[in-house]
Amino acid sequence: MLAQSVFFILAAVALSSGVMVITRRNPVHSVIWLIVTLFSVGGIFLLQYAQFLFAVQIILYVGGIMVLYLFVIMLIRVETVAKQAPYGRQWPIGLGAVLVLAAELIYSLHKGVESFHLGPPVRPPMDMNNTEAVAGVLYNNYMLPVEIASLLLLVAMVGAVLMAKKRFE
């Protein structure tokens, strides 16, 4: 089964590079591993016929947000950060709490797995490609949320400029 083996490879890459993100001392290495994770998550979107989201993932996340992270890491001094202890004092408690959370999630997934078996996945209609379908829903049913999202981005842009400015007058 080709699709299944591709899924397992992508999932293994995503999970292992995710672990690398949170264990590296140098934030630059973390960003590089996060890019690997985002690429494999994009591959998983592609595996589910979400081509438009795949493109958005690559262009926006990998091309936009990660470059922003790299810029900020360049502005702060990485050499001093890489020499300090990477984990806080509370790490055993945090790890324990997360293990409990993961056990809970996996248990409920295991118990409720029957409710997901709704028959085979429905194939998207072939007379319309994915981008067209997303655009149709986005601009017909979600017009107001799109406007609110644009307002959110404007507010975030103004806020980021204001935060990073030299002085508040």
Partner 1 sequence: MTGIPVEYFLLLGTGLFTIGVVGVLTRRNIIIILMSIELILNAVNINLVAFSHLYGNVNGQVFALFVITDAVAEAAVGLGLIIALFRNKETVNADEIDLLKW
> Apex CA 60: angle with CA 136 and CA 161, to 5°?
115
Judged by CB under 8 A, the residue of 83, 111, 127, 162 near partner 1 is: 162
Q: Does 107 sit near partner 1 (CB under 8 A)?
A: no
Token pair in block for residue 131: 């981008």
CB distance 73 to 26 below 8 Å = no
Judged by CB under 8 A, the residue of 49, 55, 62, 129 near partner 1 is: 49
CB distance 31 to 69 below 8 Å = yes
Q: State the nearest-atom distance from the C-beta of 144 to partner 1, in Å.
A: 12
Interface with partner 1 in residues 118-157 (CB under 8 A): 118, 120-124, 130, 133-134, 137-138, 141-142, 145, 149, 152-153, 155-157
75 vs 169 by CB, closer to partner 1: 75
CA distance linking residue 43 with residue 91, whole number of Å = 32
Q: Does 79 sit near partner 1 (CB under 8 A)?
A: no
Q: Does 45 sit near partner 1 (CB under 8 A)?
A: yes
CA distance linking residue 156 with residue 68, whole number of Å = 14
Quick one: angle between helices 143-164 and 130-140, nearest 10? Answer: 90
Token pair in block for residue 154: 């404007």
Site string for partner 1, 4-43 (x = CB under 8 A): x--x---x--xx--xx-xx----x--xx--x--xx--x--
Q: State the nearest-atom distance from the C-beta of 76 to partner 1, in Å.
A: 5
